[in-house]
Chain A
Amino acid sequence: MSGEDDSSGWQLTESDPSVFTELLKSLGVPLVVDDLYSLDSGALSTFQPIHALIFLFKWVGSSAEPSSGGQYDLEFPGFFAHQVVNNACATLAVMNAIGNIPDLPKGVQLSDLINFTVGMDPQTRGMVITSADWLREAHNALSPPSAISLEGLGLPKTTEEAYHFIVYLPYMGSVYELDGLKDSPVQHGPYEEKGEGWLAKAREVIEARIATYPPGSLEFSLLALHDDPLPTLQTSLSEAQASGNHAAVEEIMVRLANENSKRERWAFENSLRRHNYVGFIHALLSAMGKAGALDKAKEDAQAKMQERIAKRKEKGEAAMDED
């Protein structure tokens, strides 16, 4: 299918919860994504109800990647799309998640797209999704506009390779793993509704997976896809105020303040992500010039570069001495 270099117009995005949440907003979906720092019940209960877990990882090992257990489900009746363009991996993971959450409010374009792909095989579905112009534009809106395209110039790459995304979610009583690079979804077995529900099973599966990698070879993050807490908090606040429960009012206001300040921080970060900095860079250097600070800064920068080159040479020579 599409080779590594065919980005088909999809830009690589950061894998930050703020980026995912912004994407969901533009799709008209009232869910939020947050980082999970642990799979213990305390961490998970912060975000209940959790609709899906997104496991993103980069494997830096050299031997064959270990298998993840479970069984392929070739008859999976839900929504599953293959990843056909690497740069689209984040959005593809989001689609594989939200395509399987029942009764989820969605924007019209999203509903239409999902409905259109009913009955398609995963490969075709992946191609259809990747060809949706409006979806690609929503995705690209999360990263800087390309004022300067450096693709195809053979310059050394300074950016990191994309992470790989896998979705874990409950479907018809079992925990499923949706990996856009695998042929079909993987079924990991049934879960019990009581207590933590599907999350208890998912925890087992994910921890087992992490354990199969040699220590230090896996870089990973875990994201929780869950309901936006703000509307519920607002309602709880009104109720607590109406019933005169001052302790509850205080507690809810603290949580609201935390959530709002996080959202404001995310909005700030996203606005920085979308910006073209060429004008700003020029203005900063001009300001330095006007303040008479540019010459010294230049000299210091030249000295730093010399240091760096010298260090690299040292290391290079040292490596040769070790032969």
Chain B
Amino acid sequence: MSTEPRIAFKAGRAFRRENTNWVDPDPTKGAVILQNGEDGLLHFIWKNRTTNDSEEDLILFPSDATFAPVTQAASGRVYVLKFSSSNQRHFFWMQDADSTRDKDFVQNVNRLLLNPEELPVWFTGFPDALGTAAFEEPGTAQASSSSSSAQPAQPSQPAQPGQPGFQFTQEQLNQFQSMIESSGAGANVPPELSLTDVLTPANLTPLFTSHPELIQTLFPHLPPDLPSPPTPQTIQQVISSPQFRAAVRNFDQALRTGLLGGLVRGLGLPEEAGTGVEAFLRAIQDQAREGGGGDSMDTD
């Protein structure tokens, strides 16, 4: 795999003020460069154009990151690189005085971030080759640019009266409480594994490439009220989303209580599958071997 730059454009960095959503641009002239590394992985590099040093070098796994516009920035030319696997955020502002190619660069960055095998597509001409073109004056950043929303509050799952399905009553909860306390389970027993480490984009994305027919089995379980019809990319977006990750954490915690026998029967699994994370995974493995798992959809 060649290690030449695949996309490059003039961009400066911006940094977030601690504990706030406020982002201050840095005037240093720089460039964003996407290129394949010797390791065969896609690298997202920020290079200082004055010193010619590469000051940031991020390795990107397929669909782990996106490069999104920060719509609140008054200049309209601020972007954020964000990751599904961590809370890292890197802010950049376009420094080419000509903004007509911004959209092209950004679209192609995202195509590569999703799938490094993709070839960039250019609609308005050929990209600058860094180091050979003469640089114009960089665009000026606004006094304060903006970042994309990073509200940290996660929803919890308190009881909602009257909900059908798998809702526990207060009495059942009290019973579970005393069962857990008397069994000595919970905080004292270290868990063997967490579902959050199983259902990662790194584990799931290669699956969609190697077994595209399995994607079909997932569509019926996506949110039913999406603004546009789902595509395979929607599945990527969902598994990378904070909402899905929170749901997996929540389900993992619930499984560890060992009390989900009733719930998992609704999924066509034996009651034993609701007694823990390992048991759940074993039961699914068995179901998959027997050719099931796709038909028993007794969920809400």
Spell out A's residues near B (CB within 8 Å).
7, 9-18, 34-38, 40, 42-43, 46, 87, 140, 143-160, 162-163, 216, 218-222, 254, 258-259, 261-262, 264, 267-269, 271-291, 293-295, 297-298, 300-302, 304-305, 309
The answer to whether B155 and A280 touch across the interface, beta carbons within 8 angstroms, is: no
Identify whether the interface residues of B are mostly helix, strand, loop, or mixed: loop
Given contacts A297-B198, A302-B193, whether A40 and B144 have CB atoms under 8 Å apart is yes
Given contacts A12-B155, A283-B218, whether A221 and B72 have CB atoms under 8 Å apart is no
Does B129 have its Cβ within 8 Å of any Cβ on chain A?
Answer: no
Given contacts A271-B226, A289-B285, whether A302 and B160 have CB atoms under 8 Å apart is no
Q: What residues of A have a CB within 8 angstroms of the CB of B144 in the complex?
A: 37-38, 40, 42-43
Q: Which of B194, B218, B238 contacts A272 (CB 8 A)?
A: B238
Q: What residues of B have a CB within 8 angstroms of the CB of A295 in the complex?
A: 285
Q: What residues of B have a CB within 8 angstroms of the CB of A150 in the complex?
A: 156-157, 250, 253-254, 257
Q: What residues of A have a CB within 8 angstroms of the CB of B146 in the complex?
A: 35, 37-38, 43
The answer to whether B149 and A271 touch across the interface, beta carbons within 8 angstroms, is: no
The answer for the CA separation of A285 and B95 in the assembled complex, in Å, is: 45
The answer to whether A290 and B299 touch across the interface, beta carbons within 8 angstroms, is: no
The answer for the CA separation of A309 and B102 in the assembled complex, in Å, is: 45
Does B19 have its Cβ within 8 Å of any Cβ on chain A?
Answer: yes
Instruction: Name 6 extra pairs, CB < 8 A, besides A145-B163, A149-B157, A300-B203.
Output: A14-B153, A46-B74, A149-B159, A151-B158, A304-B194, A309-B190
The answer to whether B22 and A147 touch across the interface, beta carbons within 8 angstroms, is: no
The answer to whether A287 and B157 touch across the interface, beta carbons within 8 angstroms, is: no
Q: Which of B5-13, B29-37, B51-59, B171-179 contacts A (4 or more CB under 8 A)?
A: B171-179
Whole-angstrom distance from the CB of B144 to the nearest CB of chain A? 4
Does B119 have its Cβ within 8 Å of any Cβ on chain A?
Answer: no
Spell out B's residues near A (CB within 8 Å).
18-23, 69, 71-74, 76, 142-147, 149, 151-161, 163, 165-168, 170, 173-174, 176-177, 180-181, 186-187, 190-195, 197-199, 203-204, 207, 210-211, 214, 217-218, 220-223, 225-228, 237-239, 241, 243-244, 246-251, 253-254, 257, 260, 263, 267, 269, 278, 280-281, 284-285, 287-289, 293-294, 297, 299-300
Given contacts A151-B157, A154-B181, A268-B227, whether A291 and B207 have CB atoms under 8 Å apart is yes
Q: What residues of B have a CB within 8 angstroms of the CB of A11 in the complex?
A: 155-158, 160
Q: What residues of B have a CB within 8 angstroms of the CB of A304 in the complex?
A: 193-194, 197
The answer to whether B221 and A149 touch across the interface, beta carbons within 8 angstroms, is: no
Given contacts A37-B147, A38-B146, A220-B20, whether A268 and B158 have CB atoms under 8 Å apart is no
Whole-angstrom distance from the CB of B132 to the nearest CB of chain A? 31
The answer for the CA separation of A12 and B246 in the assembled complex, in Å, is: 14
Q: What residues of A have a CB within 8 angstroms of the CB of B73 in the complex?
A: 37
The answer to whether A160 and B154 touch across the interface, beta carbons within 8 angstroms, is: yes
The answer to whether B250 and A285 touch across the interface, beta carbons within 8 angstroms, is: no
Whole-angstrom distance from the CB of B60 to the nearest CB of chain A? 20
The answer to whether B203 and A297 touch across the interface, beta carbons within 8 angstroms, is: yes
The answer to whether B143 and A278 touch across the interface, beta carbons within 8 angstroms, is: no
Name B227's closest neighbour in chain A (CB-CB): A267
Whole-angstrom distance from the CB of B280 to the nearest CB of chain A? 8
Q: What residues of B have a CB within 8 angstroms of the CB of A222 in the complex?
A: 21
Q: Which of B76, B149, B187, B227 contacts A16 (CB 8 A)?
A: B149
Name B215's closest neighbour in chain A (CB-CB): A287
Given contacts A37-B146, A153-B180, A254-B76, whether A289 and B293 have CB atoms under 8 Å apart is yes
The answer for the CA separation of A182 and B263 in the assembled complex, in Å, is: 43
Q: What residues of B have a CB within 8 angstroms of the CB of A152 in the complex?
A: 159, 170, 173-174, 177
Q: Which of A218, A273, A277, A286 contacts B251 (CB 8 A)?
A: A277
Whole-angstrom distance from the CB of A269 to the nearest CB of chain B? 7
List 13 A-B pairs, Cβ < 8 Å: A37-B73, A43-B146, A149-B167, A153-B173, A153-B176, A153-B257, A219-B20, A220-B19, A280-B244, A282-B221, A285-B284, A286-B287, A304-B193
Counting chain B CB atoms within 10 Å of each CB, which of A7, A147, A221 scores highest?
A: A147
The answer for the CA separation of A200 and B187 in the assembled complex, in Å, is: 51
Whole-angstrom distance from the CB of B164 to the nearest CB of chain A? 10
The answer for the CA separation of A267 and B247 in the assembled complex, in Å, is: 19
The answer to whether A301 and B194 touch across the interface, beta carbons within 8 angstroms, is: yes
The answer for the CA separation of A147 and B300 in the assembled complex, in Å, is: 9
The answer to whether B218 and A273 touch across the interface, beta carbons within 8 angstroms, is: no
Q: Which of A14, A38, A300 contacts B155 (CB 8 A)?
A: A14
Q: Which of B155, B187, B239, B267 contacts A278 (CB 8 A)?
A: B267
Whole-angstrom distance from the CB of B168 to the nearest CB of chain A? 5
The answer for the CA separation of A32 and B122 in the assembled complex, in Å, is: 35
Given contacts A147-B166, A149-B173, A280-B221, whether A15 and B153 have CB atoms under 8 Å apart is yes
Q: What residues of A have a CB within 8 angstroms of the CB of B226 in the complex?
A: 267-268, 271
The answer for the CA separation of A37 and B176 in the assembled complex, in Å, is: 45
Q: What residues of A have a CB within 8 angstroms of the CB of B284 in the complex?
A: 282, 285-286, 289, 294
Given contacts A144-B243, A285-B199, A289-B284, whether A37 and B23 have CB atoms under 8 Å apart is yes
Q: What residues of A have a CB within 8 angstroms of the CB of B281 in the complex?
A: 285, 294, 298
The answer to whether B74 and A300 touch across the interface, beta carbons within 8 angstroms, is: no
